[in-house]
Chains A and B, each alone.
Chain A
Amino acid sequence: EPEVTQTPSHQVTQMGQEVILRCVPISNHLYFYWYRQILGQKVEFLVSFYNNEISEKSEIFDDQFSVERPDGSNFTLKIRSTKLEDSAMYFCASKQMGRGGVETQYFGPGTRLLVL
């Protein structure tokens, strides 16, 4: 069964460093998402991406964050200058159909980011 994959599974970085989290969505999916979950808290939406541009973003997704689909398969989340509070599990998800559909988002296994 096709699945969303994410790399790395874990990343430790120094505060102020840039990190890039990578995701390979399911190949025929059109919508892509990043979510994060700070330890012990709810999953939070960060951004959605469609047709090579951001379609929505939350207030969490400030100028430190950016997303890119550099080729036909990868979907990346970049944090330019990490802060301690960026430590969280980051989930990528993808969906086949467009807005308004009730189709399922498929989640990746997550990248656990620790900022020291």
Chain B
Amino acid sequence: KNEVEQSPQNLTAQEGEFITINCSYSVGISALHWLQQHPGGGIVSLFMLSSGKKKHGRLIATINIQEKHSSLHITASHPRDSAVYICAVPRTTGNQFYFGTGTSLTVIP
């Protein structure tokens, strides 16, 4: 059973397209994290959000706590956005995370 589900698993987009990656979770959470894993493997934290919406540059993350769903949007996508995007939620006890399997995004010039 996956506590965190992401969709799609793979996504190919043309440069400039608006992209949406979805994350659904089945556990109660205090916050949800969106992470970006670069082709070389390194992980960067993009957002941590517990309600509403956050924006950073061309990236927008939203969360609906009642529906246990979050989305990551990328506006005006660019080839450098190509990466794996991972949704992660902390367990209610302790410091562990449940990780999604990731969405592999490729943006074609």
User: For the complex, is B76 an interface residue (Cβ under 8 Å from A)?
Assistant: no
Chain A residues whose C-beta falls within 8 Å of the C-beta of B99 in the assembled complex? 42-44
Size of the chain A interface, CB-CB below 8 angstroms: 27
Chain B residues whose C-beta falls within 8 Å of the C-beta of A48 in the assembled complex? 94-96
* Binary A-proximity of B3-37 (CB < 8 A = 1, otherwise 0): 00000000000000000000000000011010100
CA distance A77 to B9 in the complex (A): 31
B78 CB, min distance to chain A CBs, angstroms: 22
Contact B48 A104 (CB under 8 A): yes
B38 CB, min distance to chain A CBs, angstroms: 9
CA distance A48 to B94 in the complex (A): 9
Known contacts A42-B102, A102-B31; A56/B41 CB under 8 A: no
Interface with B: A17-25, A68-76, A106-114, which one? Answer: A106-114
Contact A107 B43 (CB under 8 A): yes
Most central of A37, A44, A55 by chain B CB within 10 Å: A37
Contact B48 A33 (CB under 8 A): no
**Which residue in B30, B33, B41, B94 is a CB contact (below 8 Å) of A104?**
B33
B1 CB, min distance to chain A CBs, angstroms: 13
Task: Write the residues of chain B forming the contact surface with A, with a CB cutoff of 8 angstroms.
Answer: 30-31, 33, 35, 40-45, 48, 50, 86, 88, 94-97, 99-102
Task: Write the residues of chain A forming the contact surface with B, with a CB cutoff of 8 angstroms.
Answer: 31, 33, 37, 41-45, 48, 55-56, 58, 89, 91, 95, 99-100, 102-110, 112
A-B contact list, 16 entries, CB within 8 Å: A33-B95, A37-B41, A42-B99, A42-B100, A43-B97, A44-B99, A45-B96, A48-B96, A55-B94, A58-B96, A102-B30, A102-B50, A104-B48, A107-B44, A109-B43, A110-B42
Q: A56-B94, A89-B41, A110-B41 are in contact. List 17 more A-B contacts (CB 8 A).
A: A31-B95, A33-B95, A43-B86, A45-B96, A48-B96, A55-B94, A56-B95, A95-B95, A99-B95, A102-B48, A102-B50, A107-B35, A107-B44, A108-B42, A109-B40, A109-B42, A112-B41
